[in-house]
Structure 1
Amino acid sequence: MTALSGPILLMLSLLFSLFSNPTSSVATDHKEVVCFVYHRFGDDRYPSTNISLADFEAHLQYLRDHDYQVLTFADAIDYLQSNQENRKTAVITIDDGYKSFHTNGLPLLEKYGYPATVFINTETVGGGDYMSWSELKDAGNRKIEIGNHTHSHAYFLNLPENSRYKTFDDEIRLSQKIIKEQLGLTPTTFAYPYGELDPKMEAIIRNAGFKAAAAQNSGVISAQSNLMRCPRFPMSESYAALDKFSSKARMNALVPKEETPTSFMMPEHHRPELTLQFVTGALQINQLQCFIQGGECQMTITEKEGETTLKLTSAGKLTRRRTLYTVTVPDKNGQWYWYSHLWIDPSVK
């Protein structure tokens, strides 16, 4: 038998290591998590933020029937950064902490044995339609992670810059302190009120030590995502039909190599240009679609040496406070990929 040379032995060793260890770091790079955001449950007074209990249970049943692991937001971030085996993974988040979650949503989660993450603004706890501290403590004993959603849930981008960042930082510290005093825990995850942030606010959250923060641009979280502004798919009566939910649950992350600009802030001319560069791979670029809320998308595509450069802009001036540029594209196997960029115009009240 001919002796194997050193390079061949090394190659065989690497291949054996890869295929005999499915939780190796090679697989970690391809992990993804689909995250959903809910607000109210079975409260039809507010259709724009409510979901019916029948629809919510249909979502949970879909996740069970299709073998998703459902994690808290914090645990999902740990999963993304771990060497655990790749699995279909979903996260259920609830913003604001309304009573209808404790009354209507939590019992359904318990029925399916699923955890979730509730982001609370500490100023409103116990008032009006909001859960009390005792209800939040009860939820925490029933697989619910408590996350930080600031103290006041203010429109921080409407504050003047000379006070905005101190106010934002002070509120983070205050709400962390209050949650610790009331619940005996310190949140490790955060959600921006209204999904609004600028680069300095993002830096404050990073420097505060949170492991991740949730925004409200839609999409799928990947191992390469900026964890200080994780995308989430909104779930309310307009989006809650099972076919819409399931299509989001099956979505993949379109991960740009380059994104210009990275900021969410609307430029003064109100026709922002977004440039994305990504690996073409198996993507069917001829089927790529662009959507702009309240506007018409103008798109330029350049393909070169296995990479695609996409330039997007609006045909007219954007007039909404928050506008999404969304890109979807299928691959040759029929799998769909999603990316969105949020533009925020604080001058719109």
Structure 2
Amino acid sequence: MLTKNLVFALLTFTLSTSVQADLVVLQYHHVSDATPPSTSTSVSLFEGQLQMIEDLGLEVVPLLAGTRDAREESRKENTVALTFDDAYESVYTTAAPMLADRGYPYTVFVNTNAVGRTGYMTWDQLEELASREGVTLANHSTDHGHLARKPDEPADQWQQRIEHSLDGAQRELKQRLGVDTPMFAYPYGEFDSTLEEQISDQGWYGYSQHSGPIGVHSAPTRLPRFPMANAYGQLGSLKNKLLSRAFPVETADLPDGVITSNPPVLEFALPETMTPDRLTCFASGMGRIEIETVEDGMVRVQAPEAFSSRRFRYNCTHPAGDGRFYWLSQPWLDLSQPEN
């Protein structure tokens, strides 16, 4: 018979050696050498990224199932999901054949008003993609608008605008393609707490554009994805992203991304297994920023000066062992800045 001490020791060993089940989601727009660099991944870089995923032995999974698994910690190794925003034509002509050759599943988030316009897929192309094994189509709004409530926008007008954008796109995808996927990608990665409530009320997952993997502590309406355009998807940093771990902080407890002061303050509690001296944080366009330790295991992060952009982030990492890093990204949104 096992003694209580031995049972405890075995349980402790099992917990300490279990591997966190995290999902790394990669976000693309164009896969092309001829489209705007800021939203494009070159063909050669895309091929290199896919090859690195294969070389690392990582499984590519459907986004919906992968998200559910990661939040339930039912897998033992990192998995990867591939997503494409806006349904650009290059995804159909260039990315889709490359992914089919490897048998990789992927998700295309569609803003329905753009379908059929120059540079975008047609409804016939989307229908053909939807019939392929492993391809998922999901909601990216009707008009790719800025959906966070605008300053001084009446609540009833905002509600009407949101219902038209979210429900209208979901309805059209269902009517035209028979698609009713419970996932939504925020245009521009912008969201606020009231928009999150709308996504939650729909029973959807909400995906943004701040970096980091998805894990058991990830809030279902503010799920991160690693942008993979040329500037962010270079192979030199990709391995760390693919092998990263979700930071063990409840992201639902992090601040609403809409700032009330500039620069904003981010506070969160470090787990007992982490130390502030090994935590590294960066601010968009400012590089590494200082970390202040406050009471009760909390740390405070604030950029040294105000931001002038509409969207920016604080990214924090901490060693996770085996050369991997825990990764936390807090997106910020300044509604006083022009929409872009």
TM-score (norm: length of structure 1)? 0.87
Equivalence for 1:291: 282
Which residue of the other structure, out of 158, 168, 178, is the alignment partner of 1:164? Answer: 158
Does residue 245 of structure 1 match 2:238?
yes
Equivalence for 1:265: 258
1:342 partner letter: P
- Residues 220 and 253 of structure 1 are in contact (CA less than 8 Å); yes or no, is this contact kept in structure 2? yes
- Residues 292 and 314 of structure 1 are in contact (CA less than 8 Å); yes or no, is this contact kept in structure 2? yes
Higher-Rg member (1/2) = 1
- What does residue range 133-282 of structure 1 map to in structure 2 within 5 Å? 133-142=123-132, 143-157=134-148, 159=150, 160-162=153-155, 163-210=157-204, 212-257=205-250, 261-267=254-260, 269-281=261-273
Q: C-alpha distance in 1, partners of 2:47/2:321? A: 33
1:238 partner letter: A
Equivalence for 2:77: 87
Equivalence for 2:65: 75
Equivalence for 1:126: 116
SS at match of 2:142: coil
Q: C-alpha displacement at 1:89, in angstroms?
A: 0.1
Equivalence for 1:63: 53
- Residues 73 and 189 of structure 1 are in contact (CA less than 8 Å); yes or no, is this contact kept in structure 2? no
CA 64–332 in structure 1, closer or farther in 2 if over 3 Å, else same: closer
Q: C-alpha distance in 2, partners of 1:300/1:82? A: 32
Q: C-alpha displacement at 1:317, in angstroms?
A: 1.5
TM-superposition CA deviations, 1:174-219 (whole Å, max 9, x none): 1111001110121211101101111110000110121x11011111
Q: C-alpha distance in 2, partners of 1:167/1:261? A: 26
1:47 partner letter: P
CA 337–83 in structure 1, closer or farther in 2 if over 3 Å, else same: closer
Equivalence for 1:339: 328
How many residues in Structure 1 have an aligned counterpart in Structure 2? 331
SS at match of 2:298: strand
Q: CA RMSD in A?
A: 2.6
2:53 partner letter: L
CA 258–189 in structure 1, closer or farther in 2 if over 3 Å, else same: closer
Q: C-alpha distance in 1, partners of 2:173/2:321? A: 48
Which residue of the other structure, out of 293, 306, 310, is the alignment partner of 2:299? Answer: 310
Q: C-alpha displacement at 1:136, in angstroms?
A: 0.9
SS at match of 2:37: coil
Q: Percent of counterpart pairs with the same letter?
A: 27
TM-superposition CA deviations, 1:151-173 (whole Å, max 9, x none): 11111236414222331123211
SS at match of 2:148: helix
TM-superposition CA deviations, 1:46-86 (whole Å, max 9, x none): 00011111111111111112211111211112322557441
Q: C-alpha distance in 1, partners of 2:240/2:306? A: 31
Q: C-alpha displacement at 1:345, in angstroms?
A: 0.8
TM-superposition CA deviations, 1:74-117 (whole Å, max 9, x none): 11123225574412200111000000000000011011110011
Q: C-alpha distance in 2, partners of 1:190/1:257? A: 21
CA 259–310 in structure 1, closer or farther in 2 if over 3 Å, else same: farther
What are structure 1's unaligned runs of at least 5 residues?
none
Equivalence for 1:109: 99
CA 135–312 in structure 1, closer or farther in 2 if over 3 Å, else same: same
SS at match of 1:164: helix
- Residues 264 and 341 of structure 1 are in contact (CA less than 8 Å); yes or no, is this contact kept in structure 2? yes
SS at match of 1:243: helix
Q: C-alpha distance in 2, partners of 1:174/1:78? A: 26
TM-score (norm: length of structure 2)? 0.89
CA 190–253 in structure 1, closer or farther in 2 if over 3 Å, else same: same
1:48 partner letter: S
